[in-house]
Structure 1
């Protein structure tokens, strides 16, 4: 099989993996008593640290009203808390709680372990290629999302 055919097989497998990931995230959200958007918020907070509601709204693609309700749900679930912004005491930041992050991480621990085991089968050079591909894929996805958001509905 040639490189083009292998590339097409990879491309065909990606939507299935995306669907499986979405299903897993939905199940975790259900078990935590939150929504998929709430899980996106927790991911953003985990990756980028505390943020204002406005920054979170931009990161998860929600309106200010929707993000306020999301923060309320996550706070009620014990996943986040509001704290004063040390740089501007007029506004507050949303930060994940240690308990909330621990609950999320517990749901993904098995998958993380399996994934690390799978990655151990690859050489350092192969892993560099995988990482380069994932980074390009993320960049392409972000660009397409920005294009769609900028276009009329």
Structure 2
């Protein structure tokens, strides 16, 4: 591939495709939040819990870039919506952990089921090397985005 072709592909990814995808993800999360009766940040909280498991409200605040007070209100909303519950920390009974409820997991799973199915269909056309490259890129992009967010605070 010629250098100009490669540069054009990188530009198309960085300046068009990825930003457009990010906007669509934000839009989908907003629709899911409305369907669940919570806010967009609350949906981020549910993703963090699904990815990292039960955690303290303070740790959760760090994952979604909220103050501990705002995270407490977020947890209150998610408890009221039936998506999470507060449970005693088995390692320290003075602390509380936030964990998703079965109902909350089922509702979120159902909300994203169509996208998950479509994504699996799209990925079926990629061989293992291409999948490994995609995974490497997405993980690096997540890391870089998190670093930019930390630096911007």
TM-score by length of 2: 0.95
Aligned positions, number: 149
Rounded Cα–Cα distance in structure 2 between residues aligned with 1:122 and 1:145 = 31
Rounded Cα–Cα distance in structure 2 between residues aligned with 1:49 and 1:87 = 15
CA RMSD of aligned residues (A): 0.9
| Structure 2: tracts of 5 or more residues without a match | none
Rounded Cα–Cα distance in structure 2 between residues aligned with 1:147 and 1:63 = 17
Note the C-alpha offset of 1:141: 0.8
Rounded Cα–Cα distance in structure 1 between residues aligned with 2:79 and 2:73 = 10
Runs of 4+ in 1 over 3 A off after TM superposition: none
Q: 109, 116, 138: which is aligned to 1:112?
A: 116
Note the C-alpha offset of 1:136: 1.3
Rounded Cα–Cα distance in structure 2 between residues aligned with 1:91 and 1:143 = 29
Question: Is 2:11 the partner of 1:8?
Answer: yes
Note the C-alpha offset of 1:64: 1.2
| Structure 1: tracts of 5 or more residues without a match | none
Rounded Cα–Cα distance in structure 1 between residues aligned with 2:95 and 2:131 = 42
Which secondary structure state, in structure 2, belongs to the residue aligned with residue 106 of structure 1?
A: helix
Rounded Cα–Cα distance in structure 2 between residues aligned with 1:135 and 1:77 = 31
